Amino acid sequence: MASSCARAGSDWLLGRISLQKGLLGVGMGCPGQGGSPHPWRALGSWGVTYPKSLRGVRGSCVMIPCTLSYPDDVEASDGVVAIWYKDYQDQKLLVYHSEAQEVDAHFRDRAQLLGDPAAGNCTLLLRGVTPEDSGPYRFRFEIVNGDRWSATEDVVLNDLEHPSTAASEEQTEGQMATLECSTPYVCPPGDVALRWEGYDPQVSMVAGRIHLDTSEVSHRLTLTTSFSWKDHSKKLLCEVSYGSRKATGEVVLRVRHAPKDTQVSVNPSAQNIRVGDTVSFTCEVSSSYPPISAYHWYKDGVAMGTEQILTLRDVRREDYGQYHCEVKNAVGAGVAPAVTLYIFCECQGSLPRRSR
Protein backbone atom coordinates (compact mmCIF):
# COMPACT_ATOMS: atom_id res chain seq x y z
CA MET A 1 0.00 0.00 0.00
CA ALA A 2 1.05 3.56 -0.65
CA SER A 3 0.48 4.66 2.96
CA SER A 4 1.15 3.03 6.30
CA CYS A 5 -1.96 4.84 7.58
CA ALA A 6 -4.22 2.42 5.66
CA ARG A 7 -4.16 -1.38 5.81
CA ALA A 8 -6.73 -3.83 4.50
CA GLY A 9 -9.52 -4.52 6.93
CA SER A 10 -7.90 -2.93 9.98
CA ASP A 11 -6.00 0.26 10.82
CA TRP A 12 -7.43 3.55 9.52
CA LEU A 13 -6.83 7.19 10.30
CA LEU A 14 -9.43 8.67 12.60
CA GLY A 15 -10.89 12.02 11.74
CA ARG A 16 -12.83 14.60 13.64
CA ILE A 17 -14.94 17.64 12.85
CA SER A 18 -15.43 19.85 15.90
CA LEU A 19 -18.60 21.89 15.64
CA GLN A 20 -18.17 24.41 18.43
CA LYS A 21 -18.61 28.11 19.08
CA GLY A 22 -15.49 29.58 17.60
CA LEU A 23 -13.24 29.54 14.58
CA LEU A 24 -13.01 26.43 12.49
CA GLY A 25 -9.65 24.79 12.07
CA VAL A 26 -8.70 21.68 10.13
CA GLY A 27 -6.05 19.11 10.90
CA MET A 28 -5.21 15.83 9.22
CA GLY A 29 -2.45 13.27 9.75
CA CYS A 30 -1.48 9.79 10.75
CA PRO A 31 -1.74 9.01 14.47
CA GLY A 32 1.58 9.51 16.20
CA GLN A 33 3.30 10.93 13.12
CA GLY A 34 4.67 14.42 12.57
CA GLY A 35 5.59 16.18 9.34
CA SER A 36 3.20 17.59 6.79
CA PRO A 37 -0.48 17.69 7.85
CA HIS A 38 -1.42 16.61 4.30
CA PRO A 39 1.11 13.88 3.36
CA TRP A 40 -1.25 12.18 0.89
CA ARG A 41 -1.78 15.09 -1.51
CA ALA A 42 0.30 13.31 -4.19
CA LEU A 43 -1.72 11.84 -7.05
CA GLY A 44 -2.69 8.25 -6.50
CA SER A 45 -2.32 8.17 -2.71
CA TRP A 46 -4.72 7.70 0.17
CA GLY A 47 -6.24 10.94 1.31
CA VAL A 48 -9.13 13.29 1.92
CA THR A 49 -9.05 17.05 1.39
CA TYR A 50 -11.35 19.87 2.44
CA PRO A 51 -11.18 23.56 3.45
CA LYS A 52 -9.04 24.70 6.34
CA SER A 53 -12.02 26.57 7.82
CA LEU A 54 -15.79 26.40 7.69
CA ARG A 55 -18.56 28.26 9.46
CA GLY A 56 -22.29 27.89 9.63
CA VAL A 57 -25.28 29.97 10.65
CA ARG A 58 -27.94 28.61 12.96
CA GLY A 59 -30.95 27.58 10.90
CA SER A 60 -29.09 27.67 7.60
CA CYS A 61 -26.95 24.95 6.06
CA VAL A 62 -23.30 23.95 5.96
CA MET A 63 -21.57 22.47 2.95
CA ILE A 64 -18.29 20.66 3.46
CA PRO A 65 -16.54 20.35 0.07
CA CYS A 66 -14.64 17.08 0.25
CA THR A 67 -12.59 14.93 -2.11
CA LEU A 68 -11.14 11.49 -1.51
CA SER A 69 -8.37 9.61 -3.25
CA TYR A 70 -6.70 6.21 -3.12
CA PRO A 71 -3.80 4.55 -4.94
CA ASP A 72 -4.22 3.68 -8.60
CA ASP A 73 -3.58 0.02 -7.93
CA VAL A 74 -6.54 -0.26 -5.54
CA GLU A 75 -9.49 -2.02 -7.13
CA ALA A 76 -12.80 -0.21 -6.46
CA SER A 77 -15.07 -1.76 -9.06
CA ASP A 78 -17.46 -2.91 -6.34
CA GLY A 79 -17.96 0.68 -5.17
CA VAL A 80 -16.93 3.13 -2.47
CA VAL A 81 -18.91 3.66 0.72
CA ALA A 82 -18.93 7.15 2.31
CA ILE A 83 -19.71 7.50 6.01
CA TRP A 84 -20.02 10.58 8.21
CA TYR A 85 -20.11 10.27 12.00
CA LYS A 86 -20.52 12.73 14.84
CA ASP A 87 -18.86 11.97 18.16
CA TYR A 88 -21.08 12.67 21.13
CA GLN A 89 -20.02 11.71 24.64
CA ASP A 90 -17.70 9.00 23.28
CA GLN A 91 -20.48 7.62 21.09
CA LYS A 92 -20.57 7.64 17.31
CA LEU A 93 -23.76 9.13 15.91
CA LEU A 94 -24.28 8.17 12.29
CA VAL A 95 -24.78 11.36 10.25
CA TYR A 96 -24.75 9.84 6.78
CA HIS A 97 -24.11 6.45 5.18
CA SER A 98 -24.15 6.00 1.42
CA GLU A 99 -25.38 2.42 1.82
CA ALA A 100 -28.62 3.80 3.30
CA GLN A 101 -28.09 2.45 6.79
CA GLU A 102 -30.25 3.99 9.49
CA VAL A 103 -28.80 7.34 10.58
CA ASP A 104 -29.23 9.03 13.95
CA ALA A 105 -32.65 10.64 14.37
CA HIS A 106 -31.05 14.06 14.95
CA PHE A 107 -29.64 14.02 11.41
CA ARG A 108 -32.45 12.23 9.61
CA ASP A 109 -33.49 14.07 6.44
CA ARG A 110 -30.89 16.78 7.11
CA ALA A 111 -27.64 15.26 5.84
CA GLN A 112 -27.02 14.67 2.15
CA LEU A 113 -23.97 13.54 0.22
CA LEU A 114 -23.80 15.77 -2.84
CA GLY A 115 -21.14 13.87 -4.76
CA ASP A 116 -20.33 10.38 -5.91
CA PRO A 117 -17.70 8.76 -3.66
CA ALA A 118 -16.70 6.44 -6.51
CA ALA A 119 -15.74 9.59 -8.43
CA GLY A 120 -13.78 10.95 -5.47
CA ASN A 121 -16.45 13.36 -4.20
CA CYS A 122 -17.42 13.15 -0.52
CA THR A 123 -19.04 16.60 -0.17
CA LEU A 124 -21.61 16.74 2.62
CA LEU A 125 -24.56 19.12 2.99
CA LEU A 126 -26.09 19.57 6.43
CA ARG A 127 -29.37 21.52 6.53
CA GLY A 128 -31.13 23.25 9.40
CA VAL A 129 -28.01 23.75 11.48
CA THR A 130 -28.67 23.86 15.22
CA PRO A 131 -26.45 24.51 18.26
CA GLU A 132 -26.71 20.78 19.00
CA ASP A 133 -24.79 20.09 15.81
CA SER A 134 -21.66 21.39 17.51
CA GLY A 135 -19.07 18.77 18.28
CA PRO A 136 -16.49 16.46 16.68
CA TYR A 137 -17.28 14.73 13.40
CA ARG A 138 -15.52 11.87 11.60
CA PHE A 139 -15.45 11.02 7.91
CA ARG A 140 -14.60 7.58 6.61
CA PHE A 141 -14.66 5.92 3.23
CA GLU A 142 -14.42 2.22 2.52
CA ILE A 143 -13.50 0.41 -0.67
CA VAL A 144 -16.06 -2.37 -0.95
CA ASN A 145 -14.22 -5.64 -0.33
CA GLY A 146 -11.05 -3.63 0.21
CA ASP A 147 -9.36 -0.96 2.31
CA ARG A 148 -10.73 1.99 4.27
CA TRP A 149 -9.62 5.48 5.28
CA SER A 150 -10.73 8.19 7.72
CA ALA A 151 -9.76 11.85 8.00
CA THR A 152 -9.83 14.67 10.54
CA GLU A 153 -11.52 18.05 10.31
CA ASP A 154 -12.49 20.68 12.89
CA VAL A 155 -15.58 22.72 12.10
CA VAL A 156 -17.28 25.43 14.15
CA LEU A 157 -20.92 26.37 13.86
CA ASN A 158 -21.67 29.79 15.28
CA ASP A 159 -24.11 32.61 14.85
CA LEU A 160 -23.65 35.52 12.46
CA GLU A 161 -20.38 37.39 12.76
CA HIS A 162 -19.39 40.64 11.09
CA PRO A 163 -18.29 40.23 7.47
CA SER A 164 -14.75 41.21 6.57
CA THR A 165 -14.16 44.28 4.43
CA ALA A 166 -11.09 45.24 2.44
CA ALA A 167 -10.29 48.50 0.66
CA SER A 168 -7.39 50.80 -0.03
CA GLU A 169 -6.56 53.05 2.90
CA GLU A 170 -7.38 56.02 0.67
CA GLN A 171 -9.39 56.65 -2.47
CA THR A 172 -8.87 59.48 -4.96
CA GLU A 173 -11.71 61.68 -6.16
CA GLY A 174 -12.89 60.75 -9.64
CA GLN A 175 -10.85 57.55 -9.87
CA MET A 176 -12.30 54.05 -9.78
CA ALA A 177 -11.83 52.17 -6.52
CA THR A 178 -12.46 48.55 -5.58
CA LEU A 179 -13.82 47.44 -2.22
CA GLU A 180 -14.39 43.85 -1.19
CA CYS A 181 -16.65 42.28 1.38
CA SER A 182 -16.45 38.62 2.31
CA THR A 183 -18.09 36.15 4.63
CA PRO A 184 -17.37 32.48 5.35
CA TYR A 185 -21.08 31.66 5.38
CA VAL A 186 -22.22 29.88 2.23
CA CYS A 187 -25.46 27.96 1.92
CA PRO A 188 -26.12 26.83 -1.68
CA PRO A 189 -29.86 27.66 -1.71
CA GLY A 190 -28.84 31.30 -1.16
CA ASP A 191 -30.40 31.69 2.27
CA VAL A 192 -27.42 33.71 3.54
CA ALA A 193 -27.38 37.08 1.75
CA LEU A 194 -24.49 39.52 1.35
CA ARG A 195 -24.86 43.11 0.13
CA TRP A 196 -23.23 46.56 0.06
CA GLU A 197 -25.10 49.63 1.29
CA GLY A 198 -24.48 53.37 0.89
CA TYR A 199 -22.97 53.51 -2.59
CA ASP A 200 -24.19 55.34 -5.70
CA PRO A 201 -25.56 52.69 -8.11
CA GLN A 202 -25.28 55.06 -11.08
CA VAL A 203 -21.47 55.00 -10.96
CA SER A 204 -20.99 51.55 -9.43
CA MET A 205 -20.77 47.89 -10.35
CA VAL A 206 -21.25 45.03 -7.90
CA ALA A 207 -20.02 41.52 -8.62
CA GLY A 208 -20.45 38.46 -6.42
CA ARG A 209 -18.30 35.35 -6.31
CA ILE A 210 -18.82 32.18 -4.31
CA HIS A 211 -15.73 30.10 -3.67
CA LEU A 212 -16.75 26.57 -2.82
CA ASP A 213 -14.05 23.94 -3.05
CA THR A 214 -11.65 22.03 -0.85
CA SER A 215 -9.34 25.04 -0.45
CA GLU A 216 -11.89 27.59 0.74
CA VAL A 217 -15.56 28.30 1.35
CA SER A 218 -16.45 31.97 1.08
CA HIS A 219 -18.82 34.48 -0.47
CA ARG A 220 -17.19 37.66 -1.77
CA LEU A 221 -18.91 40.79 -3.02
CA THR A 222 -16.77 43.30 -4.93
CA LEU A 223 -17.88 46.93 -5.30
CA THR A 224 -16.23 48.95 -8.06
CA THR A 225 -17.14 52.63 -7.95
CA SER A 226 -15.84 56.20 -7.87
CA PHE A 227 -16.19 58.82 -5.16
CA SER A 228 -16.46 62.59 -4.92
CA TRP A 229 -15.05 64.82 -2.20
CA LYS A 230 -18.47 64.84 -0.58
CA ASP A 231 -18.01 61.12 0.16
CA HIS A 232 -14.99 61.80 2.38
CA SER A 233 -15.47 60.33 5.90
CA LYS A 234 -18.64 58.59 4.74
CA LYS A 235 -19.24 54.98 5.79
CA LEU A 236 -20.08 52.18 3.39
CA LEU A 237 -21.69 49.15 4.99
CA CYS A 238 -21.52 45.52 4.02
CA GLU A 239 -24.28 43.40 5.48
CA VAL A 240 -24.60 39.64 5.81
CA SER A 241 -28.06 38.44 6.76
CA TYR A 242 -30.02 35.30 7.35
CA GLY A 243 -33.72 35.85 7.88
CA SER A 244 -34.13 38.68 10.39
CA ARG A 245 -30.60 38.34 11.76
CA LYS A 246 -27.96 40.70 10.41
CA ALA A 247 -24.32 41.60 10.95
CA THR A 248 -22.46 44.44 9.28
CA GLY A 249 -18.92 45.49 8.48
CA GLU A 250 -17.95 49.00 7.43
CA VAL A 251 -15.41 50.93 5.39
CA VAL A 252 -14.73 54.56 6.32
CA LEU A 253 -13.84 56.41 3.12
CA ARG A 254 -10.75 58.58 2.91
CA VAL A 255 -11.20 60.37 -0.40
CA ARG A 256 -8.19 62.38 -1.51
CA HIS A 257 -9.26 65.67 -3.08
CA ALA A 258 -8.08 69.21 -3.69
CA PRO A 259 -9.33 71.98 -1.34
CA LYS A 260 -13.00 72.72 -1.95
CA ASP A 261 -15.08 75.91 -1.64
CA THR A 262 -12.23 78.24 -0.67
CA GLN A 263 -13.50 81.50 0.84
CA VAL A 264 -12.18 84.65 2.57
CA SER A 265 -13.88 85.89 5.72
CA VAL A 266 -13.19 89.40 7.10
CA ASN A 267 -13.38 90.48 10.73
CA PRO A 268 -14.83 93.01 11.36
CA SER A 269 -16.99 93.30 8.26
CA ALA A 270 -15.13 94.60 5.21
CA GLN A 271 -17.76 97.33 4.89
CA ASN A 272 -17.02 98.88 8.31
CA ILE A 273 -13.26 99.35 8.48
CA ARG A 274 -11.95 102.76 9.49
CA VAL A 275 -8.47 104.19 9.42
CA GLY A 276 -6.53 102.94 12.46
CA ASP A 277 -8.58 99.75 12.88
CA THR A 278 -7.20 96.22 12.91
CA VAL A 279 -8.66 93.84 10.33
CA SER A 280 -8.17 90.09 9.93
CA PHE A 281 -8.67 87.98 6.80
CA THR A 282 -9.17 84.25 7.28
CA CYS A 283 -8.75 81.74 4.46
CA GLU A 284 -11.31 78.94 4.86
CA VAL A 285 -12.15 75.75 2.97
CA SER A 286 -15.15 73.47 3.37
CA SER A 287 -13.09 70.33 2.79
CA SER A 288 -9.52 69.26 2.12
CA TYR A 289 -7.92 65.82 2.23
CA PRO A 290 -5.08 65.62 2.85
CA PRO A 291 -5.03 68.80 4.97
CA ILE A 292 -3.92 72.18 3.62
CA SER A 293 -0.14 72.37 3.31
CA ALA A 294 0.28 76.01 2.14
CA TYR A 295 -1.56 79.35 2.24
CA HIS A 296 -0.83 82.37 0.05
CA TRP A 297 -2.38 85.85 0.32
CA TYR A 298 -2.56 88.46 -2.42
CA LYS A 299 -3.62 92.12 -2.54
CA ASP A 300 -4.41 93.29 -6.05
CA GLY A 301 -2.23 90.41 -7.32
CA VAL A 302 0.75 91.19 -5.07
CA ALA A 303 1.87 88.53 -2.55
CA MET A 304 1.10 89.48 1.06
CA GLY A 305 1.60 86.50 3.40
CA THR A 306 1.66 82.73 3.89
CA GLU A 307 -0.46 82.13 7.00
CA GLN A 308 -4.09 81.07 7.23
CA ILE A 309 -4.93 84.41 8.85
CA LEU A 310 -3.68 87.70 7.40
CA THR A 311 -3.85 90.56 9.93
CA LEU A 312 -3.56 94.27 9.08
CA ARG A 313 -2.98 96.56 12.05
CA ASP A 314 -3.55 100.32 12.11
CA VAL A 315 -4.96 100.24 8.59
CA ARG A 316 -4.49 103.17 6.26
CA ARG A 317 -6.30 104.38 3.19
CA GLU A 318 -3.61 102.67 1.10
CA ASP A 319 -4.80 99.27 2.39
CA TYR A 320 -7.92 99.64 0.26
CA GLY A 321 -8.05 96.94 -2.45
CA GLN A 322 -8.99 93.38 -3.39
CA TYR A 323 -7.72 90.52 -1.24
CA HIS A 324 -7.83 86.81 -1.99
CA CYS A 325 -6.11 83.64 -0.83
CA GLU A 326 -4.91 80.47 -2.49
CA VAL A 327 -4.50 77.13 -0.72
CA LYS A 328 -2.73 73.92 -1.66
CA ASN A 329 -2.57 70.32 -0.54
CA ALA A 330 -0.87 67.25 -2.01
CA VAL A 331 -3.67 66.78 -4.55
CA GLY A 332 -4.30 70.29 -5.88
CA ALA A 333 -5.13 73.92 -5.14
CA GLY A 334 -8.10 76.13 -4.36
CA VAL A 335 -8.55 79.84 -5.06
CA ALA A 336 -10.95 82.05 -3.12
CA PRO A 337 -12.98 84.83 -4.79
CA ALA A 338 -11.52 88.25 -3.98
CA VAL A 339 -13.10 90.50 -1.36
CA THR A 340 -12.76 94.28 -1.47
CA LEU A 341 -11.55 96.08 1.63
CA TYR A 342 -13.02 99.58 1.95
CA ILE A 343 -11.37 102.09 4.32
CA PHE A 344 -13.58 104.76 5.81
CA CYS A 345 -12.06 107.92 7.23
CA GLU A 346 -12.98 111.46 8.34
CA CYS A 347 -10.57 113.24 6.07
CA GLN A 348 -10.37 115.34 2.97
CA GLY A 349 -9.53 113.94 -0.40
CA SER A 350 -10.52 110.70 -2.02
CA LEU A 351 -9.44 107.10 -1.85
CA PRO A 352 -6.57 106.18 -4.14
CA ARG A 353 -7.62 104.86 -7.47
CA ARG A 354 -7.18 101.20 -8.12
CA SER A 355 -4.46 100.37 -10.58
CA ARG A 356 -5.62 98.69 -13.75
Mean pLDDT by 10 residues, the chain (356 residues): 31 30 30 33 68 80 88 86 81 87 89 91 90 78 82 62 86 96 86 92 95 89 96 95 90 97 90 88 97 98 96 94 97 97 72 50
d(CA 260, CA 285): 6
d(CA 142, CA 146): 7
- Is residue 25, in this structure, part of any structural domain at all? yes
Tell me the residue range of the domain where 53 lies. Answer: 1-159
Look at residues 159, 189, 218 and tell me which one is the last residue of a structural domain.
Answer: 159
Shared domain check, 278 and 131:
no
- Is residue 350, in this structure, part of any structural domain at all? no
Shared domain check, 182 and 115:
no
Q: Supply the pLDDT for residue 269.
A: 79
Shared domain check, 175 and 297:
no
Residues 6+ apart with CB under 8 A from 78: 143, 144, 145, 146
Shared domain check, 116 and 234:
no
- Is residue 349, in this structure, part of any structural domain at all? no
CB 229 within 8 A of CB 196: no
- Is residue 60, in this structure, part of any structural domain at all? yes
Shared domain check, 73 and 11:
yes
- Domain total in the chain: 3
Shared domain check, 115 and 202:
no
- What percentage of residues in the chain have a pLDDT greater than 90? 47
Report DSSP state, residue 73.
T
Residues linked to residue 326 through DSSP beta bridges, in sequence order: 296, 335
Shared domain check, 120 and 4:
yes
Shared domain check, 244 and 100:
no
Classify burial at 140, counting beta carbons within 10 Å of its beta carbon; exposed 0-12, middle 13-18, buried 19 or more.
buried
Shared domain check, 262 and 249:
no
Shared domain check, 100 and 45:
yes
Residue 262 CB neighbours (<10 A): 21
Shared domain check, 155 and 44:
yes
Shared domain check, 123 and 43:
yes
Domain CATH number, residue 316: 2.60.40.10
d(CA 294, CA 275): 30
